[in-house]
Structure 1
């Protein structure tokens, strides 16, 4: 390979060849850079061939796209319970590690579990302290057969009551009013879609914010677990979803009681309450079947479980199958390796240049781009090569015009 200058003219003394001198010197420069750059890049944590931030032992995100049950047991780990759900997932809420899953990314109708995404999207802009009087046309488009909490036109509601109606009674009427205050049904659907993508939930398509059966509306056990985990980190969300019962305004100073429809939380209809349950959200439609995203806390561990459309046929199956998965998750703690992460598909924000490169070089940066130590190493090599070129030219008596 020959490395030369551009077509600029040069005067050479003592018969020296500019091209030959420059070729040798620039070749040394390039060799130095190429020799040092791989070492510098290899020294930084982001140079993982499997992708940024993952070690060779970490599961590849595609593992959860494989059909069937995915689990990586160690010696002595308990066997995963057999459940009839079309799709399910169990994850550690703190770390986001997926402990086991079955068809985690299978796209299915979510029913009212989609209200978790609705709350994540709208609750921050419509907190409970606001009060609103429901107008004549705000409830006109509630779908037939919807679950209702009993919102009435002409009654003034603190938004905290409407949110309790969403979480406890799965009230599509309350969702309709809140979505209207948020800019409308279509605007809320778009915002929910954007929120899902920002969280790394790529299986979800929103067409009806309340979870009502609507053409094309789908989610997955993976995505719903993301929403449930994010919700538990929001104090208002977490407070609403674990509330057992409340009083709902009926107008004229009257109220009536409402009770959470999550039987695993309340113990209703013969379902034994689960110790340490944190609630979250259940759902049902004729198209989706029974769905549930729930969480529980024991000791220092918090788990999130999603169960979608059990084929058992018993209305309580979704709760009992969630119970068995939670029991397995607590029992398997420390005895299984993760099969994925709820953060695997989440976009990482790009960070700007570090104002203190020395401090950064002593830590393990999370960015996938070259670290400052690598940058300075490569630049130093380039500078040394450039110096070699200048020295060679000077010794050869070269004058460049």
Structure 2
């Protein structure tokens, strides 16, 4: 499954954060503050792509040739897994041979590049559209990236098993845990939510907590995870996850993105989290299972709030002597070719731009027509203001590098491990984690 950005390794973002000299999420990129050696006028547009599915690679090859024929400007596409992107971007800047447009999958990297003046605002491309919730991440009104899709983690469930056992889609933690317990049978387990120190756990396992109203930071960047308001909610989440754990397959501690995907597609778990890639993989590898998979949002304990775990992808334009032509290329890519690009992974590439959902060209796709119900559910999650769309790395009042430090530390998965594997009291586990986060963010 090399076409999945999350399968470049369970620490995809962590590796990228450690790129460029092991910097992690520092407040500056060492060596990048110096003026870049700009590309010569008329030079080809160097495009760094990190969507490596066969269809997407073919699209960019064809698009580059079409753009050169149309404008005379060559576009050189370099495709790498997302985990290598930030290192490629920073190495290119240091060497004086920068990319001009690049795929970025972590808002912390966008912020670091913007702080060092290495990328330009893209408001002239983004301002003319309406966007889904919590996706542009503006800094002082300036938007530094063009988000092309959401990668929301949603809960997949077996519709056929629900019908067989007379189960209803749950609205509460108790209902969800009860369904997971009811569907354990032989080698089939009730659910799989990773708890290991990896990106899969960061992405897939905490939206129950976001639905409960838990926040890591307040509006002044104080750590409030263990505050009188948040600690009981976070502790209740840990108790809930401890209840789910016996319904999971062996090896949940080591579970990766690939493990969750393969278990869902094979039907060996009744519930699990992932983005739209599950449907596309099941259509290819197990079509009978694809038709039995439904999706639901994460829920809170009382049945009053829903959530999805945030994920996203976008493009940045670097500040070089080729910025003007690069912006022209980006305008063409994001208008004339946007639908064709999204169709290369039609269910997985959930549009961030709201106009696309009603674009007849986008809707005229076999997969989009077949899974219209699921796609409509996905749209509602990013247009309904009552739905919480957040993640560890997007916590806090405004876009900032501090949540990224929490993400790369795996402090939150280790809180799960304290509770589930070590038997730590839930409140104590929350307190320990909050103290660690304070040390991380200073």
TM-score interval (norm. to shorter): under 0.3
Ranked by relative contact order (alpha carbons within 8 Å, sequence separation 6 or more), the top structure is 1
TM-score norm. by structure 2 comes to 0.24
More strand by share: 1
Q: Which is greater in Rg?
A: 1
TM-score by length of 1: 0.26
More helix by share: 2
